[in-house]
Structure 1
Protein backbone atom coordinates (compact mmCIF):
# COMPACT_ATOMS: atom_id res chain seq x y z
CA UNK A 1 0.00 0.00 0.00
CA UNK A 2 1.50 3.31 -1.07
CA UNK A 3 1.62 6.29 1.26
CA UNK A 4 -1.13 8.13 -0.63
CA UNK A 5 -3.41 5.09 -0.80
CA UNK A 6 -2.85 4.44 2.90
CA UNK A 7 -3.85 7.99 3.77
CA UNK A 8 -6.94 7.68 1.58
CA UNK A 9 -7.87 4.37 3.24
CA UNK A 10 -7.33 5.88 6.67
CA UNK A 11 -9.59 8.83 5.84
CA UNK A 12 -12.23 6.41 4.60
CA UNK A 13 -11.99 4.45 7.84
CA UNK A 14 -12.66 7.52 9.98
CA UNK A 15 -15.52 8.65 7.74
CA UNK A 16 -17.10 5.20 7.76
CA UNK A 17 -16.84 4.99 11.53
CA UNK A 18 -18.29 8.47 11.98
CA UNK A 19 -21.15 7.68 9.57
CA UNK A 20 -22.12 4.77 11.80
CA UNK A 21 -22.86 7.22 14.61
CA UNK A 22 -26.36 8.11 13.51
CA UNK A 23 -29.10 9.17 15.91
CA UNK A 24 -30.32 5.58 16.34
CA UNK A 25 -27.06 3.73 15.79
CA UNK A 26 -26.52 0.13 16.87
CA UNK A 27 -23.57 -0.32 19.25
CA UNK A 28 -22.77 -3.80 17.93
CA UNK A 29 -22.75 -2.47 14.36
CA UNK A 30 -20.47 0.36 15.49
CA UNK A 31 -18.02 -2.08 17.06
CA UNK A 32 -17.99 -4.34 14.00
CA UNK A 33 -17.28 -1.28 11.88
CA UNK A 34 -14.46 -0.29 14.24
CA UNK A 35 -12.81 -3.71 14.01
CA UNK A 36 -13.23 -4.16 10.27
CA UNK A 37 -11.94 -0.70 9.45
CA UNK A 38 -9.01 -1.08 11.82
CA UNK A 39 -7.71 -4.33 10.35
CA UNK A 40 -8.08 -2.83 6.88
CA UNK A 41 -5.72 -0.01 7.81
CA UNK A 42 -3.21 -1.57 10.20
CA UNK A 43 -1.08 -4.70 9.94
CA UNK A 44 -3.51 -7.13 11.63
CA UNK A 45 -5.53 -10.03 10.28
CA UNK A 46 -8.36 -10.37 12.81
CA UNK A 47 -9.92 -8.60 15.75
CA UNK A 48 -12.09 -9.23 18.78
CA UNK A 49 -13.75 -6.72 21.07
CA UNK A 50 -14.88 -6.92 24.66
CA UNK A 51 -17.04 -4.47 26.62
CA UNK A 52 -17.62 -4.21 30.35
CA UNK A 53 -21.10 -5.10 31.56
CA UNK A 54 -23.00 -3.47 34.41
CA UNK A 55 -20.82 -5.32 36.92
CA UNK A 56 -17.63 -4.09 35.23
CA UNK A 57 -16.92 -7.59 33.93
CA UNK A 58 -15.71 -8.09 30.37
CA UNK A 59 -17.95 -9.79 27.84
CA UNK A 60 -17.20 -10.63 24.22
CA UNK A 61 -19.33 -8.40 22.00
CA UNK A 62 -17.94 -8.85 18.51
CA UNK A 63 -15.17 -10.42 16.45
CA UNK A 64 -14.14 -10.45 12.81
CA UNK A 65 -13.71 -14.23 12.57
CA UNK A 66 -14.49 -17.49 14.34
CA UNK A 67 -10.78 -17.90 15.01
CA UNK A 68 -10.63 -14.58 16.86
CA UNK A 69 -13.88 -15.41 18.64
CA UNK A 70 -12.41 -18.66 19.96
CA UNK A 71 -9.29 -16.97 21.31
CA UNK A 72 -11.31 -14.25 23.02
CA UNK A 73 -13.61 -16.76 24.68
CA UNK A 74 -10.64 -18.73 25.98
CA UNK A 75 -9.14 -15.51 27.29
CA UNK A 76 -12.33 -14.62 29.13
CA UNK A 77 -12.74 -18.10 30.56
CA UNK A 78 -9.20 -17.97 31.91
CA UNK A 79 -9.62 -14.40 33.14
CA UNK A 80 -6.21 -13.50 31.74
CA UNK A 81 -4.64 -12.37 28.50
CA UNK A 82 -3.66 -9.15 26.74
CA UNK A 83 -7.24 -7.89 26.30
CA UNK A 84 -8.06 -8.54 29.96
CA UNK A 85 -4.86 -6.80 31.07
CA UNK A 86 -5.49 -3.93 28.66
CA UNK A 87 -8.93 -3.33 30.16
CA UNK A 88 -7.72 -3.66 33.74
CA UNK A 89 -4.84 -1.23 33.29
CA UNK A 90 -6.50 1.09 30.78
CA UNK A 91 -3.51 1.05 28.46
CA UNK A 92 -2.41 -0.69 25.27
CA UNK A 93 -0.78 -4.11 25.67
CA UNK A 94 1.47 -5.43 22.91
CA UNK A 95 2.67 -9.03 22.63
CA UNK A 96 5.40 -9.46 20.03
CA UNK A 97 5.54 -13.26 20.27
CA UNK A 98 2.64 -15.19 21.76
CA UNK A 99 4.79 -18.30 22.19
CA UNK A 100 6.94 -16.43 24.72
CA UNK A 101 4.18 -15.20 27.03
CA UNK A 102 5.17 -17.60 29.82
CA UNK A 103 2.96 -19.35 32.35
CA UNK A 104 0.66 -16.41 33.08
CA UNK A 105 -1.39 -16.72 29.90
CA UNK A 106 -1.34 -20.48 29.29
CA UNK A 107 -4.90 -20.78 27.98
CA UNK A 108 -4.62 -17.68 25.82
CA UNK A 109 -1.27 -18.75 24.36
CA UNK A 110 -2.53 -22.22 23.46
CA UNK A 111 -5.71 -20.88 21.86
CA UNK A 112 -3.94 -18.14 19.90
CA UNK A 113 -1.26 -20.43 18.51
CA UNK A 114 -3.86 -23.07 17.65
CA UNK A 115 -5.66 -20.47 15.53
CA UNK A 116 -2.45 -19.32 13.84
CA UNK A 117 -1.99 -16.02 15.68
CA UNK A 118 1.56 -15.24 16.74
CA UNK A 119 1.32 -11.66 18.01
CA UNK A 120 -1.39 -9.39 19.36
CA UNK A 121 -1.96 -5.73 20.14
CA UNK A 122 -4.73 -4.81 22.61
CA UNK A 123 -6.19 -1.31 22.55
CA UNK A 124 -8.31 0.15 25.38
CA UNK A 125 -11.66 1.79 24.71
CA UNK A 126 -11.00 4.59 27.12
CA UNK A 127 -11.92 8.23 27.61
CA UNK A 128 -9.96 9.99 30.33
CA UNK A 129 -10.30 7.81 33.46
CA UNK A 130 -13.13 5.61 32.20
CA UNK A 131 -12.32 2.37 30.36
CA UNK A 132 -15.34 0.61 28.89
CA UNK A 133 -13.65 -2.23 27.01
CA UNK A 134 -10.73 -3.35 24.90
CA UNK A 135 -10.05 -4.37 21.29
CA UNK A 136 -7.62 -7.14 20.37
CA UNK A 137 -5.80 -7.02 17.06
CA UNK A 138 -4.49 -10.46 16.10
CA UNK A 139 -1.56 -10.95 13.74
CA UNK A 140 -0.34 -14.10 11.98
CA UNK A 141 3.31 -13.01 12.22
CA UNK A 142 5.48 -12.16 15.19
CA UNK A 143 6.52 -8.63 16.03
CA UNK A 144 4.82 -5.53 17.36
CA UNK A 145 2.67 -3.06 15.49
CA UNK A 146 4.53 -0.03 14.23
CA UNK A 147 4.07 3.11 16.31
CA UNK A 148 2.03 4.55 13.48
CA UNK A 149 -0.32 1.58 13.26
CA UNK A 150 -0.69 1.52 17.04
CA UNK A 151 -1.61 5.22 17.03
CA UNK A 152 -4.16 4.69 14.23
CA UNK A 153 -5.78 1.78 16.07
CA UNK A 154 -6.05 3.86 19.23
CA UNK A 155 -7.48 6.84 17.36
CA UNK A 156 -10.19 4.70 15.75
CA UNK A 157 -10.98 3.12 19.12
CA UNK A 158 -11.23 6.60 20.65
CA UNK A 159 -13.83 7.66 18.08
CA UNK A 160 -15.98 4.62 18.90
CA UNK A 161 -15.53 5.15 22.63
CA UNK A 162 -16.64 8.78 22.44
CA UNK A 163 -19.68 7.70 20.43
CA UNK A 164 -20.68 5.05 22.96
CA UNK A 165 -20.19 7.32 25.97
CA UNK A 166 -21.98 10.21 24.27
CA UNK A 167 -24.96 7.97 23.58
CA UNK A 168 -24.96 6.93 27.22
CA UNK A 169 -24.86 10.55 28.38
CA UNK A 170 -27.74 11.46 26.06
CA UNK A 171 -29.78 8.52 27.31
CA UNK A 172 -29.10 9.33 30.96
CA UNK A 173 -29.81 13.01 30.35
CA UNK A 174 -33.10 12.08 28.72
CA UNK A 175 -34.02 10.02 31.77
CA UNK A 176 -33.19 12.90 34.11
CA UNK A 177 -35.15 15.33 31.92
CA UNK A 178 -38.12 12.97 31.95
CA UNK A 179 -37.93 12.69 35.72
CA UNK A 180 -37.76 16.47 36.10
CA UNK A 181 -40.70 16.96 33.77
CA UNK A 182 -42.71 14.38 35.69
CA UNK A 183 -41.90 16.22 38.91
CA UNK A 184 -43.10 19.50 37.37
CA UNK A 185 -46.26 17.82 36.10
CA UNK A 186 -46.83 16.31 39.54
CA UNK A 187 -46.56 19.72 41.18
CA UNK A 188 -49.27 21.12 38.89
CA UNK A 189 -51.49 18.13 39.61
CA UNK A 190 -50.96 18.44 43.37
CA UNK A 191 -51.78 22.14 43.27
CA UNK A 192 -55.03 21.31 41.50
CA UNK A 193 -55.83 18.63 44.07
CA UNK A 194 -55.10 21.06 46.92
CA UNK A 195 -57.60 23.46 45.43
CA UNK A 196 -60.27 20.77 45.18
CA UNK A 197 -59.70 19.63 48.77
CA UNK A 198 -59.57 23.17 50.15
CA UNK A 199 -62.86 24.08 48.51
CA UNK A 200 -64.65 20.82 49.30
CA UNK A 201 -63.47 20.53 52.91
CA UNK A 202 -63.48 24.25 53.66
CA UNK A 203 -59.83 24.33 54.77
CA UNK A 204 -56.76 26.37 53.96
CA UNK A 205 -54.38 25.25 51.22
CA UNK A 206 -51.72 24.18 53.74
CA UNK A 207 -54.21 21.91 55.51
CA UNK A 208 -55.39 20.57 52.16
CA UNK A 209 -51.84 19.55 51.32
CA UNK A 210 -51.41 17.91 54.73
CA UNK A 211 -54.56 15.89 54.08
CA UNK A 212 -53.28 14.73 50.72
CA UNK A 213 -49.91 13.78 52.21
CA UNK A 214 -51.46 11.98 55.19
CA UNK A 215 -53.63 9.91 52.89
CA UNK A 216 -50.70 9.06 50.65
CA UNK A 217 -48.63 7.87 53.59
CA UNK A 218 -51.39 5.87 55.23
CA UNK A 219 -52.26 4.22 51.91
CA UNK A 220 -48.61 3.63 50.98
CA UNK A 221 -49.22 5.45 47.69
CA UNK A 222 -47.49 8.35 46.01
CA UNK A 223 -48.67 11.88 46.53
CA UNK A 224 -49.10 12.15 42.76
CA UNK A 225 -51.44 9.16 42.62
CA UNK A 226 -53.58 10.60 45.43
CA UNK A 227 -53.71 13.95 43.64
CA UNK A 228 -54.74 12.21 40.42
CA UNK A 229 -57.54 10.46 42.32
CA UNK A 230 -58.82 13.72 43.78
CA UNK A 231 -58.63 15.66 40.52
CA UNK A 232 -60.13 12.77 38.56
CA UNK A 233 -62.92 12.38 41.13
CA UNK A 234 -62.07 8.72 41.79
CA UNK A 235 -61.07 9.54 45.37
CA UNK A 236 -63.63 11.37 47.51
CA UNK A 237 -62.42 14.26 49.62
CA UNK A 238 -64.36 13.03 52.66
CA UNK A 239 -62.04 10.01 52.76
CA UNK A 240 -59.10 12.39 53.03
CA UNK A 241 -60.74 14.19 55.93
CA UNK A 242 -61.28 10.91 57.77
CA UNK A 243 -57.64 9.85 57.33
CA UNK A 244 -56.29 13.27 58.22
CA UNK A 245 -58.17 13.44 61.51
CA UNK A 246 -56.73 10.10 62.60
CA UNK A 247 -53.14 10.54 61.32
CA UNK A 248 -50.84 12.98 63.12
CA UNK A 249 -48.92 15.25 60.77
CA UNK A 250 -45.16 15.42 61.56
Structure 2
Protein backbone atom coordinates (compact mmCIF):
# COMPACT_ATOMS: atom_id res chain seq x y z
CA UNK A 1 0.00 0.00 0.00
CA UNK A 2 2.95 2.34 0.59
CA UNK A 3 4.04 1.74 -3.00
CA UNK A 4 0.56 2.51 -4.33
CA UNK A 5 0.29 5.68 -2.26
CA UNK A 6 3.67 6.81 -3.56
CA UNK A 7 2.49 5.98 -7.08
CA UNK A 8 -0.52 8.30 -6.76
CA UNK A 9 1.64 11.18 -5.58
CA UNK A 10 4.08 10.72 -8.46
CA UNK A 11 1.26 10.38 -11.00
CA UNK A 12 -0.30 13.62 -9.82
CA UNK A 13 3.04 15.41 -10.12
CA UNK A 14 4.20 13.96 -13.43
CA UNK A 15 0.85 14.18 -15.22
CA UNK A 16 0.00 17.61 -13.84
CA UNK A 17 -3.34 16.68 -12.24
CA UNK A 18 -4.77 17.85 -8.93
CA UNK A 19 -4.99 14.39 -7.32
CA UNK A 20 -4.71 10.70 -8.11
CA UNK A 21 -6.10 7.54 -6.53
CA UNK A 22 -5.69 3.78 -6.84
CA UNK A 23 -8.55 1.39 -6.18
CA UNK A 24 -7.27 -2.13 -5.56
CA UNK A 25 -9.84 -4.93 -5.63
CA UNK A 26 -9.36 -8.09 -3.63
CA UNK A 27 -8.00 -11.27 -5.16
CA UNK A 28 -11.48 -12.79 -5.48
CA UNK A 29 -12.90 -15.20 -8.05
CA UNK A 30 -16.35 -13.63 -7.93
CA UNK A 31 -17.41 -10.19 -9.10
CA UNK A 32 -18.31 -7.08 -7.15
CA UNK A 33 -21.80 -8.42 -6.57
CA UNK A 34 -20.28 -11.60 -5.10
CA UNK A 35 -18.72 -9.62 -2.27
CA UNK A 36 -15.34 -8.54 -3.62
CA UNK A 37 -13.74 -5.89 -1.43
CA UNK A 38 -11.58 -2.95 -2.34
CA UNK A 39 -8.91 -0.78 -0.76
CA UNK A 40 -7.96 2.71 -1.84
CA UNK A 41 -4.80 4.80 -1.72
CA UNK A 42 -4.60 8.39 -2.96
CA UNK A 43 -2.34 11.40 -3.16
CA UNK A 44 -4.37 13.04 -0.37
CA UNK A 45 -6.74 11.83 2.33
CA UNK A 46 -9.85 13.61 1.07
CA UNK A 47 -9.57 11.95 -2.34
CA UNK A 48 -9.00 8.56 -0.71
CA UNK A 49 -12.14 8.94 1.42
CA UNK A 50 -14.28 9.91 -1.58
CA UNK A 51 -13.03 7.03 -3.74
CA UNK A 52 -13.46 4.42 -1.00
CA UNK A 53 -16.94 5.59 -0.03
CA UNK A 54 -18.00 5.68 -3.70
CA UNK A 55 -16.75 2.13 -4.23
CA UNK A 56 -18.62 0.90 -1.16
CA UNK A 57 -21.76 2.61 -2.44
CA UNK A 58 -21.33 0.87 -5.79
CA UNK A 59 -21.12 4.06 -7.83
CA UNK A 60 -17.72 5.22 -8.94
CA UNK A 61 -15.86 5.47 -12.24
CA UNK A 62 -13.01 3.39 -10.79
CA UNK A 63 -15.39 0.56 -9.95
CA UNK A 64 -16.87 0.70 -13.44
CA UNK A 65 -13.40 0.55 -14.97
CA UNK A 66 -12.73 -2.62 -12.96
CA UNK A 67 -15.97 -4.16 -14.17
CA UNK A 68 -15.41 -3.35 -17.83
CA UNK A 69 -11.64 -3.69 -17.94
CA UNK A 70 -11.46 -0.49 -19.96
CA UNK A 71 -10.62 3.16 -19.34
CA UNK A 72 -13.30 5.72 -18.43
CA UNK A 73 -11.73 8.91 -19.85
CA UNK A 74 -12.74 12.57 -19.83
CA UNK A 75 -15.45 12.51 -17.16
CA UNK A 76 -17.10 15.90 -16.72
CA UNK A 77 -18.09 15.94 -13.05
CA UNK A 78 -20.43 18.89 -13.69
CA UNK A 79 -22.11 17.15 -16.62
CA UNK A 80 -25.51 15.48 -16.69
CA UNK A 81 -24.06 12.04 -17.48
CA UNK A 82 -21.84 12.01 -14.37
CA UNK A 83 -24.71 13.28 -12.21
CA UNK A 84 -26.97 10.50 -13.48
CA UNK A 85 -24.42 7.70 -13.43
CA UNK A 86 -22.53 8.50 -10.21
CA UNK A 87 -24.68 11.06 -8.33
CA UNK A 88 -23.08 10.77 -4.89
CA UNK A 89 -19.54 10.53 -6.24
CA UNK A 90 -19.96 13.46 -8.63
CA UNK A 91 -21.36 15.65 -5.88
CA UNK A 92 -18.59 14.82 -3.41
CA UNK A 93 -15.86 15.20 -6.03
CA UNK A 94 -17.19 18.63 -7.01
CA UNK A 95 -17.32 19.63 -3.35
CA UNK A 96 -13.63 18.70 -3.09
CA UNK A 97 -12.85 21.08 -5.97
CA UNK A 98 -12.60 18.59 -8.84
CA UNK A 99 -14.22 19.22 -12.19
CA UNK A 100 -13.05 16.19 -14.19
CA UNK A 101 -11.67 12.69 -13.79
CA UNK A 102 -10.05 10.06 -15.98
CA UNK A 103 -9.78 6.40 -14.96
CA UNK A 104 -7.55 3.67 -16.41
CA UNK A 105 -7.60 0.00 -15.31
CA UNK A 106 -4.78 -1.85 -13.56
CA UNK A 107 -4.42 -4.74 -15.97
CA UNK A 108 -2.59 -7.83 -14.83
CA UNK A 109 -0.79 -9.76 -17.54
CA UNK A 110 -2.14 -13.34 -17.64
CA UNK A 111 0.29 -16.15 -16.89
CA UNK A 112 2.04 -17.42 -19.99
CA UNK A 113 1.62 -14.08 -21.71
CA UNK A 114 -1.73 -15.08 -23.23
CA UNK A 115 -4.63 -12.70 -23.05
CA UNK A 116 -7.55 -13.86 -20.94
CA UNK A 117 -10.89 -13.54 -22.70
CA UNK A 118 -14.26 -13.14 -21.02
CA UNK A 119 -12.96 -12.69 -17.46
CA UNK A 120 -15.21 -11.53 -14.62
CA UNK A 121 -13.86 -8.02 -15.03
CA UNK A 122 -14.34 -7.73 -18.77
CA UNK A 123 -12.72 -8.97 -21.94
CA UNK A 124 -8.94 -8.75 -21.97
CA UNK A 125 -6.28 -8.98 -19.31
CA UNK A 126 -7.51 -9.54 -15.73
CA UNK A 127 -8.06 -6.28 -13.88
CA UNK A 128 -6.88 -5.87 -10.27
CA UNK A 129 -7.85 -2.23 -9.79
CA UNK A 130 -8.04 1.23 -11.33
CA UNK A 131 -6.04 4.45 -11.37
CA UNK A 132 -8.09 7.65 -11.12
CA UNK A 133 -6.77 11.08 -12.13
CA UNK A 134 -8.64 14.17 -10.91
CA UNK A 135 -8.55 17.58 -12.54
CA UNK A 136 -9.23 20.80 -10.65
CA UNK A 137 -10.12 22.95 -13.64
CA UNK A 138 -6.83 24.58 -14.55
CA UNK A 139 -5.21 21.57 -16.19
CA UNK A 140 -7.49 20.98 -19.14
CA UNK A 141 -8.31 17.52 -20.56
CA UNK A 142 -5.55 14.93 -20.59
CA UNK A 143 -3.82 14.43 -23.91
CA UNK A 144 -3.47 11.03 -25.58
CA UNK A 145 0.17 10.99 -24.50
CA UNK A 146 -0.81 11.64 -20.88
CA UNK A 147 -3.44 8.89 -21.01
CA UNK A 148 -0.86 6.47 -22.40
CA UNK A 149 1.55 7.42 -19.62
CA UNK A 150 -1.21 6.93 -17.02
CA UNK A 151 -1.92 3.45 -18.41
CA UNK A 152 1.77 2.63 -18.22
CA UNK A 153 1.82 3.60 -14.54
CA UNK A 154 -1.31 1.52 -13.98
CA UNK A 155 0.19 -1.54 -15.67
CA UNK A 156 3.36 -1.23 -13.58
CA UNK A 157 1.25 -1.02 -10.43
CA UNK A 158 -0.71 -4.11 -11.53
CA UNK A 159 2.54 -6.02 -12.03
CA UNK A 160 3.69 -5.07 -8.52
CA UNK A 161 0.35 -6.17 -7.07
CA UNK A 162 0.54 -9.49 -8.93
CA UNK A 163 4.05 -10.18 -7.61
CA UNK A 164 3.01 -9.36 -4.05
CA UNK A 165 -0.05 -11.62 -4.22
CA UNK A 166 2.02 -14.43 -5.73
CA UNK A 167 4.51 -14.08 -2.88
CA UNK A 168 1.72 -14.19 -0.30
CA UNK A 169 0.25 -17.33 -1.88
CA UNK A 170 3.69 -18.95 -1.90
CA UNK A 171 4.15 -18.20 1.79
CA UNK A 172 0.76 -19.77 2.56
CA UNK A 173 1.53 -22.83 0.43
CA UNK A 174 4.94 -23.27 2.07
CA UNK A 175 3.27 -23.15 5.48
CA UNK A 176 0.74 -25.77 4.40
CA UNK A 177 3.47 -28.03 3.02
CA UNK A 178 5.49 -27.68 6.21
CA UNK A 179 2.43 -28.55 8.31
CA UNK A 180 1.75 -31.60 6.13
CA UNK A 181 5.38 -32.74 6.41
CA UNK A 182 5.37 -32.31 10.18
CA UNK A 183 2.14 -34.29 10.42
CA UNK A 184 3.50 -37.09 8.23
CA UNK A 185 6.64 -37.36 10.34
CA UNK A 186 4.55 -37.67 13.52
CA UNK A 187 2.37 -40.38 11.94
CA UNK A 188 5.40 -42.41 10.83
CA UNK A 189 6.94 -42.11 14.30
CA UNK A 190 3.71 -43.21 15.96
CA UNK A 191 3.32 -46.17 13.58
CA UNK A 192 6.84 -47.37 14.28
CA UNK A 193 6.44 -46.90 18.03
CA UNK A 194 3.18 -48.88 18.18
CA UNK A 195 4.43 -51.63 15.86
CA UNK A 196 7.49 -52.17 18.06
CA UNK A 197 5.51 -51.98 21.30
CA UNK A 198 2.81 -54.36 20.15
CA UNK A 199 5.07 -56.58 18.05
CA UNK A 200 2.78 -56.22 15.06
CA UNK A 201 3.08 -55.00 11.49
CA UNK A 202 3.29 -51.30 10.66
CA UNK A 203 0.05 -51.57 8.71
CA UNK A 204 -1.78 -52.99 11.74
CA UNK A 205 -0.38 -50.22 13.93
CA UNK A 206 -1.48 -47.60 11.42
CA UNK A 207 -4.98 -49.08 11.20
CA UNK A 208 -5.38 -48.92 14.97
CA UNK A 209 -3.98 -45.40 15.06
CA UNK A 210 -6.36 -44.18 12.38
CA UNK A 211 -9.37 -45.92 13.91
CA UNK A 212 -8.76 -44.36 17.31
CA UNK A 213 -8.21 -40.89 15.84
CA UNK A 214 -11.56 -41.16 14.04
CA UNK A 215 -13.23 -42.34 17.23
CA UNK A 216 -11.94 -39.27 19.05
CA UNK A 217 -12.75 -37.04 16.04
CA UNK A 218 -9.28 -35.53 15.94
CA UNK A 219 -6.86 -35.15 13.05
CA UNK A 220 -4.63 -38.13 12.52
CA UNK A 221 -1.49 -35.99 12.63
CA UNK A 222 -2.51 -34.35 15.92
CA UNK A 223 -3.39 -37.72 17.45
CA UNK A 224 -0.07 -39.20 16.29
CA UNK A 225 1.83 -36.35 17.95
CA UNK A 226 0.00 -37.06 21.20
CA UNK A 227 0.96 -40.73 20.95
CA UNK A 228 4.63 -39.91 20.34
CA UNK A 229 4.60 -37.44 23.26
CA UNK A 230 3.22 -40.11 25.59
CA UNK A 231 -0.05 -38.27 26.15
CA UNK A 232 -2.17 -41.23 25.01
CA UNK A 233 -2.59 -44.61 26.70
CA UNK A 234 -1.55 -46.93 23.87
CA UNK A 235 -3.10 -49.91 25.68
CA UNK A 236 -6.49 -48.35 25.10
CA UNK A 237 -5.72 -47.99 21.40
CA UNK A 238 -4.72 -51.63 21.18
CA UNK A 239 -7.92 -52.80 22.87
CA UNK A 240 -10.12 -50.95 20.41
TM-score bracket for the superposition, by shorter chain length: 0.7 to 0.9
Post-superposition shift, 1:182? 2.2
Q: Deviations over 1:99-140 (max 9, x none)?
A: 224222222222222222121111212204332222211012
Give unmatched runs, 5+ long, in structure 2: 29-34, 110-124
**Range moving further from structure 2, 120-129 or 76-85:** 76-85
Which one of 63, 70, 73 corresponds to residue 91 of structure 1? 70
CA 1:67/1:232 → structure 2, altered by over 3 Å: closer, same or farther?
Answer: closer
- Contact 2:6/2:43, CA 8 A, preserved across alignment: no
Secondary structure of residue in 1 paired with 2:4: helix
Q: Distance in 2 between matches of 1:76 and 1:58?
A: 8
Which one of 70, 75, 79 corresponds to residue 58 of structure 2? 79
Alignment correspondent of 2:104: 123
Tell me the TM-score normalized by structure 1.
0.78
Post-superposition shift, 1:143? 4.8
Alignment correspondent of 2:215: 218
Q: Deviations over 1:190-226 (max 9, x none)?
A: 1111111111112111100001100110011111122
Post-superposition shift, 1:32? 0.9
Alignment correspondent of 2:37: 57
Alignment correspondent of 1:46: 19
Which one of 203, 208, 211 corresponds to residue 205 of structure 2? 208
Q: Does 1:176 align with 2:149?
A: no
- Contact 1:96/1:143, CA 8 A, preserved across alignment: no
CA 1:77/1:165 → structure 2, altered by over 3 Å: closer, same or farther?
Answer: closer
Give unmatched runs, 5+ long, in structure 1: 1-27, 244-250
Q: Does 1:30 align with 2:26?
A: no
Alignment correspondent of 1:166: 163
Q: Distance in 2 between matches of 1:100 and 1:110?
A: 11
RMSD of aligned alpha carbons: 2.1
Alignment correspondent of 1:138: 134
Runs of 4 or more, structure 1, over 4 Å off, are none
Post-superposition shift, 1:172? 0.9
Q: Distance in 2 between matches of 1:180 and 1:122?
A: 41
Tell me the TM-score normalized by structure 2.
0.81
Q: Distance in 2 between matches of 1:66 and 1:226?
A: 52
Relative contact order (alpha carbons < 8 A, sep ≥ 6): 1 or 2 greater?
2
Alignment correspondent of 2:87: 106
Q: Distance in 1 between matches of 2:181 and 2:45?
A: 52
Which residues in structure 2 correspond to 1:8-27 (within 5 Å)? none
Q: Deviations over 1:133-159 (max 9, x none)?
A: 222110123753111111111211222
